[in-house]
C-alpha cells in the first residue's frame, strides 16, 4: 500500500489480494463470461441506459452531430447475443460459416426463382438490398437514419414472460449509434459499392485467391478473380475502368440505397456493406464511431412508440402485418386479478 512504483505481473490480482487478507470475497464471478460465437460481451463499448421513449430521445439529442457528420442507428433486442455482423457471416455452434461458402449460389438461386421481382434492379447492390428484404443472408447490415425505428427493433421481442400482469426476465436490448463523416457515406451508384457488392457473384474459391497484399495496382488488377469481378461490374457500368484499389475491397462502407420497396422507405433504411473478410469491431473503427444505449422496460416503450405511430403496421407496411397489429390492439383482455 506504500509503494510508489508498481510492476505488472501475469497473476490473478484477486487471488493475491485474498491471500494477503486484503479481501475475503471470491471474485470469480467477475471473470468475463463468453457470449455466443466465442466473443465476449465486454468487447463492446460502454453504454448508458434508458427506460422510456422520452429518456431515449433526450439521450439521442444530447449526441448532437457536428457539421459534416451523419448518424445512423440499429436496434438489437438482445444486447448479449447479437453482434455487428451481416447474416452472411453468421456461424453455427461449431464455428462454421453457415452461408458464406455458397454466397454466389444463394444470389443466383433467388433470382432464378423470383426473376420478375428483380427485373427493375440496375445494380447488384439493388439486388442485394431486395434479397436482404426477403431475409436472404447477404453482406449487408441494416441501419436506419430514424432513431425511433431502431428503438422499436430493440424492444419488439425478448421482453420476457407475463406473470400476474407483469413481464419478467426480459433480455436487455440496445440501440447502436454509428457516427461517420458525411463524405464517407456512399450512394447506390458508387463505384466502391459496386466493387464490394459484386463480390457476391464470385465463388468462394475465387475470393480466396484474391491477393490484397499486392501493392502494385496494375499487378493486383491482373489477377484472374479481379478480372472476373471487373466483368461483373461492367455489366452494370460498361465504362468502368479496371483500376480496383485493393484496400477498397476490404472496407466496410455505409450505403444509402434506392428506396425500392415500402419497407426500406418506412424504416428510413441504409446499410453497412461488408467487403472481403471485413469485420466491424464492436467498439467501432477509425472511420465509424460506435456508441450504445441500453434499453429496458420494453413493453412500456412499445406502448409509447405506438402513440407516436411506430408499430408493426407502420414499420412493416404490408396488409398481413396491419391485420396482425389491428387484431392484437383490439383483442379482448380479461381484467387483471387484484
> What residues have CB less than 8 Å from 26, skipping those under 6 apart?
18
Average pLDDT score over residue span 55-68: 84
Average pLDDT value for the chain? 83
The answer to whether residue 335 sits within a structural domain is no
DSSP secondary-structure letter at 162?
E
Cα 208 to its chain centre, rounded Å, is: 24
| pLDDT at 38 exceeding the cut of 50 | no
Cross-strand bridge partners of residue 161: 168
pLDDT computed for residue 312 by the predictor: 85
What pLDDT digit, counting tens, does each position of 140-185 carry? 999 999 999 999 999 988 776 666 666 677 899 999 999 999 999 9
The answer to whether residue 24 sits within a structural domain is no
Average pLDDT score over residue span 255-273: 76
The answer to whether residue 72 sits within a structural domain is yes
Count structural domains, the chain. 1
Average pLDDT score over residue span 262-291: 86
Residue pointed to by grid coordinates 508498481: 6
pLDDT computed for residue 96 by the predictor: 93
CA 285 – CA 250 distance, rounded (Å): 13
**Which residue, 288, 305, 283, is CA-closest to 47?**
283
| pLDDT at 121 exceeding the cut of 70 | yes
| pLDDT at 330 exceeding the cut of 90 | no
**Which residue, 186, 201, 276, 185, is CA-closest to 236?**
201
The answer to whether residue 181 sits within a structural domain is yes
The answer to whether residue 336 sits within a structural domain is no
The answer to whether residue 302 sits within a structural domain is yes
The answer to whether residue 13 sits within a structural domain is no
| pLDDT at 28 exceeding the cut of 50 | no
The answer to whether residue 270 sits within a structural domain is yes
CA 78 – CA 80 distance, rounded (Å): 6
Q: Which domain holds residue 263?
A: 48-329
| pLDDT at 70 exceeding the cut of 90 | yes
> What residues have CB less than 8 Å from 151, skipping those under 6 apart?
53, 56, 75, 175, 295, 301, 305
CA 64 – CA 323 distance, rounded (Å): 38
Phi and psi, residue 23, nearest 5° = -130, 160
Amino acid at each position: 500500500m506504500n509503494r510508489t512504483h508498481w510492476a505488472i505481473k501475469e497473476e490473478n490480482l484477486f487471488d493475491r489480494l485474498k491471500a494477503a487478507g486484503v479481501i475475503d470475497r471470491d471474485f470469480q464471478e467477475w471473470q468475463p463470461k463468453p457470449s455466443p460465437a466465442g466473443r465476449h460481451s465486454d468487447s463492446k463499448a460502454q453504454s448508458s441506459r434508458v427506460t422510456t421513449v422520452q429518456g431515449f430521445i433526450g439521450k439521442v439529442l444530447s449526441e448532437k452531430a457536428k457539421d459534416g457528420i451523419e448518424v445512423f442507428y440499429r436496434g438489437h433486442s438482445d444486447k448479449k447475443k447479437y453482434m455487428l455482423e451481416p447474416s452472411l457471416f453468421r456461424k453455427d455452434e461449431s464455428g462454421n460459416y453457415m452461408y458464406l461458402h455458397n454466397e454466389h449460389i444463394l444470389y443466383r438461386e433467388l433470382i432464378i426463382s423470383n426473376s420478375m421481382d428483380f427485373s427493375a434492379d440496375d445494380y447488384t447492390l439493388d439486388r442485394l438490398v431486395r434479397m436482404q428484404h426477403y431475409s436472404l443472408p447477404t453482406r449487408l447490415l441494416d441501419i436506419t437514419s430514424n432513431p425511433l425505428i431502431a428503438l422499436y427493433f430493440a424492444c419488439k421481442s425478448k421482453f420476457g414472460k407475463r406473470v400476474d400482469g407483469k413481464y419478467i426476465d426480459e433480455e436487455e436490448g440496445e440501440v447502436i449509434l454509428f457516427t461517420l463523416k458525411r463524405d464517407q457515406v456512399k450512394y447506390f451508384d458508387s463505384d466502391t459499392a459496386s466493387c464490394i457488392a459484386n463480390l457476391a457473384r464470385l465463388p468462394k474459391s475465387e475470393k480466396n485467391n484474391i491477393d490484397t497484399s499486392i501493392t502494385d495496382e496494375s499487378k493486383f488488377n491482373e489477377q484472374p478473380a479481379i478480372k472476373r469481378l471487373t466483368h461483373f461490374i461492367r455489366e452494370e457500368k460498361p465504362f468502368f475502368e479496371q483500376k480496383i484499389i485493393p484496400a477498397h475491397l476490404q472496407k466496410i462502407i455505409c450505403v444509402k440505397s434506392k428506396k425500392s420497396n415500402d419497407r426500406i422507405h418506412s424504416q428510413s433504411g441504409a446499410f453497412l456493406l461488408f467487403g472481403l473478410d471485413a469485420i466491424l469491431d464492436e467498439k467501432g473503427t477509425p472511420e465509424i464511431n460506435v456508441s450504445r444505449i441500453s434499453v429496458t422496460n420494453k413493453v412500456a416503450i412499445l406502448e409509447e412508440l405506438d402513440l407516436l405511430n411506430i408499430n408493426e403496421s407502420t414499420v412493416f407496411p404490408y396488409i398481413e402485418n396491419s391485420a396482425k397489429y389491428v387484431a392484437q390492439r383490439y383483442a379482448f383482455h380479461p381484467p387483471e386479478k387484484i
